[in-house]
């Protein structure tokens, strides 16, 4: 057997041994009951979260109530309303504060305690004064960004103090 044939035989043997080792399936990971519980707790927290903001509509003060979106849904809507360049309030909030409220899902909105259609919601936003629109965009930012940030800060403080 020549030197080359010998090397080829060694390579084939090594490949065969490597394939035999690679055939073993990886050990299955068990689902963490702790993580599953935390996921369920987060779902409940999102369902319970919300905010209310008074606005002036037709000369009457009316309360607009919002329920929180999941993080995934919030990120999706924010992706469609990026902050405008050189608009400090947009850059601070991380989204276009003038356009995002129009696309906020109306199944998470009550106006004066009543459900509204998407068309009625957009029409209402179109007639609100600047203060009302500002209050709504600030409320959405507070509910979806500020409050979760505060909750994280509280959890860190509790962990460090405990």
Query: Mean pLDDT of all residues in the chain?
Result: 89
Asked whether residue 15 is domain-assigned, the answer is no
Starting at the edge strand found earlier in the chain, the sheet holding 114-115 runs: 50-57, 60-67, 109-111, 114-115
**Within a domain: residue 14?**
no
> Of 99-113, 122-136, 145-159, which gets the smallest average pLDDT?
145-159
Q: What pLDDT is stored for residue 131 in this prediction?
A: 97
Answer whether residue 152 is part of any domain.
yes
- Rounded mean pLDDT of 17-31? 63
pLDDT at 1: 62
Within a domain: 31:
no
- The answer on pLDDT for 27 being more than 70 is no
Task: Examine residue 151 and state whether it is found in any structural domain, yes or no.
Answer: yes
Mean pLDDT on 92-119: 97
> Cα-flanking dihedrals φ and ψ of residue 32, to 5°?
-85, 120
Query: Does residue 67 fall inside a structural domain?
Result: yes
Instruction: For 109, list phi and psi in degrees, rounded to 5.
Output: -130, 135
Question: What b/e string do you get for 61-100 counting C-beta neighbours within 10 Å, with b at 16 or more?
Answer: ebebebbbbeeeebeebbeebebeeeeeebeebebbbbeb
Other beta carbons within 10 angstroms of residue 124's beta carbon come to 19
pTM: 0.77
pLDDT tier at 99, thresholds 50, 70, 90 = very high
Q: Is residue 66 part of a domain?
A: yes
Domain count, the chain: 1
Domain span at residue 131 reads 45-161
pLDDT at res. 97: 97
pLDDT at position 143, please?
96
User: Six-digit token pair at 44?
Assistant: 């409940």
Measured CA to CA, the distance from residue 155 to residue 149 in angstroms comes to 10
Q: What percent of the chain has pLDDT over 70?
A: 84
Whether residue 108 contacts residue 143, with contact meaning beta carbons closer than 8 Å, is answered with: no
Which pair of tokens denotes residue 43?
């779902």
Residue 111 domain flag: yes
List the single range of 28-42, 108-122, 139-153 with lowest mean pLDDT: 28-42
């Amino acid at each position: 057997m020549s030197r080359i044939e010998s090397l080829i035989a060694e390579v084939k043997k090594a490949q065969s041994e490597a394939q035999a080792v690679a055939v073993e399936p990886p050990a299955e990971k068990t689902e963490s009951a702790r993580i599953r519980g935390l996921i369920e707790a987060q779902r409940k927290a999102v369902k319970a979260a919300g905010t209310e903001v008074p606005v002036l509509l037709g000369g009457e003060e009316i309360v607009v109530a919002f329920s929180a979106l999941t993080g995934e849904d919030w990120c999706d809507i924010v992706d469609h309303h990026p902050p405008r360049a050189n608009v400090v309030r947009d850059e601070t909030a991380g989204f276009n504060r003038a356009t995002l409220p129009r696309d906020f899902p109306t199944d998470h909105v009550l106006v004066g305690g009543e459900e509204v259609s998407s068309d009625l919601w957009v029409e209402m936003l179109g007639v609100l004064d600047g203060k009302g629109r500002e209050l709504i965009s600030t409320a959405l930012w507070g509910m979806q960004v500020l409050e979760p940030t505060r909750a994280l800060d509280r959890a860190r403080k509790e962990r460090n103090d405990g």
